[in-house]
């Protein structure tokens, strides 16, 4: 299976590649040891996958002709859009660029995929919802974004649905939330940095979502590539829910246990009003992933956080 990932250096793209690399390493180890197969739970990438990840230096996703040429050169069976404009606050003033990356580029990819019969997987966000729900958001709930970033992500979803109709089963939207990994700028890495620099932090406690380890999201997406038919929308995040404050506290507790932090600091819960930001954020954006659990079992978010931080601690000890 030839799979093209748009987005090379982002945390999701790097984890998509890491799943394939880990599978190859385990297969090599198994072969050397004479084992017949690799542990199933350790290998969620399809067999014989050929993966190509393209970044900004490789292709301009806003130029349809150059994008089409890059796609044709590889001739993929599946295309995954792991790129996106993700700076939520900056988007409030950088509106044109947010919509260019999150809507126009998605439309460009969708047109290319539709014309060539390529299955297309597009990643979106919990921020397409307004947070007024008292229950987890299901795939059929009506989006109503509160900020420019969310509006741009919804625009991308709608563009995809217009170009590749849902009843074709050739494209899907995967919404996720609060994604983090060892790589790049995300809440976990930001908190670890601040916890080493400061003696106290104030973190918002009235916004609730679900932290999602990018590795798990990548594994779920790899599972989708192996399906014969794609549903229009899937939700994927780790199990459970937390406020940003609860997430920060868990990061500190786990990091201390693993020796990633020298000492504990005070983490004070505050309201959104006490932490003004350019973009308004939903107070509750937990996604209902029940429909996705038949495809891949979920893991509680605290366990995933421990797995990610343990891997980070292992790298630092090398």
> What's CA 124's distance to the chain center, in Å?
8
Quote the pLDDT of residue 40.
Answer: 46
Q: What is the pLDDT of residues 6-33, one digit of tens each?
A: 999 999 999 999 999 887 777 776 777 7
Tokens of 60: 């301009």
The single residue of 85, 127, 149, 180 carrying the catalytic annotation is 149
CA 52, CA 81: separation in Å to the nearest integer?
A: 12
CA 174, CA 256: separation in Å to the nearest integer?
A: 33
CA atoms within 13 A on the CB side of 141: 24
CA 85, CA 100: separation in Å to the nearest integer?
A: 9
Quote the pLDDT of residue 36.
Answer: 57
- Residue found by looking up tokens 């072969």 in the block: 31
Closest CA to 230 of 301, 167, 302, 300: 167
Closest CA to 153 of 62, 81, 231, 67: 81
CA 314, CA 318: separation in Å to the nearest integer?
A: 7
Q: Give me the domains of the chain, ranges plus CATH numbers.
A: 2-185+212-239+287-298 (3.40.50.720)
Q: What is the pLDDT of residues 143-154, one digit of tens each?
A: 999 999 999 999
- Residue found by looking up tokens 């005070």 in the block: 266
Closest CA to 227 of 14, 41, 78: 78
Q: How confident is the model at residue 169 (pLDDT cuts 50, 70, 90)?
A: very high
Mean pLDDT over the full length of the chain: 94
Lowest mean pLDDT across 35-44, 80-89, 109-118, 195-204 = 35-44
CA 316, CA 111: separation in Å to the nearest integer?
A: 43
Quote the pLDDT of residue 317.
Answer: 72
The sign of the torsion formed by the CA atoms of 169, 238, 299, 290 equals negative
Q: What percent of the chain is modeled with pLDDT above 90?
A: 88
Closest CA to 276 of 151, 92, 102: 92
Quote the pLDDT of residue 47.
Answer: 78
CA 284, CA 287: separation in Å to the nearest integer?
A: 9
Residue 149 designated active-site: yes
pTM of the model: 0.94
- The full DSSP string for 175-196 is EE-SEE-SSSS-HHHHHHHHHH
Q: How far apart are the first and last CA of the chain?
A: 34
């Amino acid at each position: 299976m030839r799979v093209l990932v748009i987005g090379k250096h982002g945390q999701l793209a790097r984890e998509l590649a890491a799943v394939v690399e880990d599978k190859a390493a385990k297969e090599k180890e198994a072969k050397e040891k004479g084992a017949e197969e690799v542990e199933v739970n350790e290998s969620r990438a399809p067999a014989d996958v050929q993966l190509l990840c393209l970044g900004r230096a490789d292709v301009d996703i806003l130029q349809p002709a150059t994008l089409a040429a890059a796609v044709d050169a590889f001739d993929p069976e599946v295309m995954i859009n792991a790129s996106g404009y993700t700076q939520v606050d900056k988007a409030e003033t950088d509106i044109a660029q947010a919509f260019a990356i999150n809507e126009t580029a998605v439309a460009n990819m969708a047109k290319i995929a539709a014309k060539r019969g390529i299955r297309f997987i597009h990643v979106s966000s919990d921020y397409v919802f307004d947070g007024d729900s008292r229950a987890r958001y299901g795939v059929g709930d009506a989006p109503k974004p509160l900020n420019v970033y969310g509006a741009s992500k919804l625009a991308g979803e709608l563009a995809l649905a217009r170009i590749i109709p849902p009843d074709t089963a050739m494209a899907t939207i995967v919404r996720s939330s609060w994604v983090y990994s060892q790589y790049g700028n995300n809440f976990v890495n930001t908190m670890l940095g601040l916890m080493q620099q400061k003696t106290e932090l104030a973190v918002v406690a009235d916004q609730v979502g679900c932290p999602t380890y990018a590795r798990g999201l990548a594994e779920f997406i790899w599972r989708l590539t192996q399906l014969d038919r794609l549903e229009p929308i899937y939700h994927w995040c780790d199990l459970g829910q937390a406020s940003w404050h609860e997430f920060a506290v868990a990061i500190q507790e786990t990091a201390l246990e693993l020796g990633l932090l020298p000492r504990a600091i005070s983490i004070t819960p505050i309201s959104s009003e006490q932490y003004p930001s350019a973009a308004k954020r939903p107070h509750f954006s937990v996604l209902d992933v029940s429909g996705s659990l038949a495809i891949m079992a979920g893991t509680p978010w605290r366990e995933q956080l421990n797995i990610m931080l343990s891997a980070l601690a292992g790298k630092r000890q090398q």
